[in-house]
Amino acid sequence: MPNPVVFVLKGYPRLSETFIAQEIAALEARGFDIRIVSLRQPSDPAIHPIHREIRAPVLYLPEYLREAPGRVFRAWRRARRLPGYRKAWRLWRADYRRDRTANRIRRFGQACVLAAEWPEGATQLHAHFLHTPASVARYTAHMLGIPWTASAHARDIWTSPEWEKRDKLADAQWVVTCTANGAQHLRALSPDPAKVHLVYHGLDLDRFATPTAPKPSRNGRRMSDPVKLIAVGRMVEKKGFDVLIAALAKLESTVYWKLVHIGGGEMAMRMRAHAMTAGITRHIEWRGAQAQEDVLAALREADIFILPSRIASDGDRDGLPNVLMEAASQNLALISTSLPGIAELIVPEQTGLLVKQNDAKALAGAIDRLIRDPALRGRLGYAAAWRVKRDFDMKDGIAKLARLFEQDAASTAPANEMPTADNKDDGA
């Protein structure tokens, strides 16, 4: 790949976005020269092993413009000389009229910094997430006079206003998204539905090799050998872990189980308090955020994986969480909810069990059923692992993404030439 591709991310590295790190590492392995631009400094206490494999340099933009006023001002002075600055300014003004927030102002300032500090020789600009990263990418692309592309995932699809999605879909060269449900939604909003491509993240099956040893046949009858449950995910509203706690509290006291939860999140203290009130704290081990190798080890020790996802009050929801594929690859029986993206992996009674969102009673019934029936756990776990191998191998998605980048590479020129003469700045 002759010229660098710039990836704009919300934050890097992030424990909750292994699918992005997996994608970058795989593209680098295919010869792509990736440059990472992060809108935020890293905040997680640990990183995954895959982050250590990524060679891409990282440019951190000022998260808040007031923290680097000199850098932002110098960038604006330089960016406003670009031929496309006035168009970017007009686009931003149109957006700001509909979204008068500090966040909108910040995105234009970050775009000025990125345009002014553009990596030498780079010809392509790609944003992960259709909300704020795509805004920065869009303004930057117009300043530099290059096309831009994006990957849409979950929150960005379901919480962004329709006017913004329509504008970005019309403006982007192409957009990929990771669920059929998301692709259908975006195609309905796009003036050119053919620009929206379904590309599953998939799973790196070399990292998540399926175990050959069978799972233990625990059935919840022995206090000394409880059935091992695991839940992995940030403690935020859309993950529904409060529903899981309510469901576990409904299990009979003669059924023996142990839950391991992995993940941080804003609701962590509330979830622990909820478990204490429900009287089940002694059955739960809260491990907090963990690196990928620790998550994998925990999955291999477990019997049942549970993810009670739901649509949050602000519309946020899961697409197809990678952790479901990771759990399936380890022959784990899956229990989740019947959200459209999740149903693209879990076929009820074939590759897992699905219940309605927010239904603690139904969730308790599904957990109880799998605790008591190790043969059913085994059948569902093996079927889920087979489904992941057949339909969700990462290599297929990476090949599709690589083809899209390769098609664009031939038609784009380096965007690092910065004009020296001031243009009319249209009042900016």
Question: In the numeric block, which tokens belong to residue 337?
Answer: 């909810």
What does the pLDDT look like over 144-186, one tens digit per residue?
A: 999 999 999 999 999 999 999 999 999 999 999 999 999 999 9
Look at the chain and count its residues.
428
SS (H, E, C) 224-255: CCCEEEEEECCCCHHHCHHHHHHHHHCCCCCC
Euclidean distance between CA atoms 281 and 314, whole angstroms: 29
The DSSP annotation for 320-389 comes to: S-HHHHHHHHTT-EEEEE--TTGGGT--BTTTBEEE-TT-HHHHHHHHHHHHH-HHHHHHHHHHHHHHHH
Euclidean distance between CA atoms 168 and 316, whole angstroms: 19
Instruction: Quote the pLDDT of residue 45.
Output: 77
CATH 1.20.1250.20 is right for the domain spanning 5-202+394-409: no
Per CATH, 5-202+394-409 and 227-390 having the same topology is answered yes
- In order of 114, 120, 179, 298, the CA distances from 138 in angstroms are 11, 19, 23, 40
What does the pLDDT look like over 373-424, one tens digit per residue?
A: 999 999 999 999 999 999 999 999 999 999 999 998 766 655 555 444 344 4
φ, ψ (nearest 5 deg) of residue 348: -55, 130
Euclidean distance between CA atoms 148 and 67, whole angstroms: 28
Euclidean distance between CA atoms 341 and 398, whole angstroms: 19
Task: List the domain boundaries for the chain.
Answer: 5-202+394-409, 227-390
Instruction: Quote the pLDDT of residue 420.
Output: 40
pLDDT at 15 over 50: yes
Instruction: Quote the pLDDT of residue 425.
Output: 45
**CATH number for the 227-390 domain, one of 3.40.640.10, 1.10.3130.10, 3.40.50.2000, 3.40.50.620?**
3.40.50.2000
Euclidean distance between CA atoms 292 and 282, whole angstroms: 26
Task: Say what the pTM is.
Answer: 0.90
What does the pLDDT look like over 240-255, one tens digit per residue?
A: 999 999 999 999 999 9
pLDDT at 426 over 70: no
Instruction: Quote the pLDDT of residue 16.
Output: 83
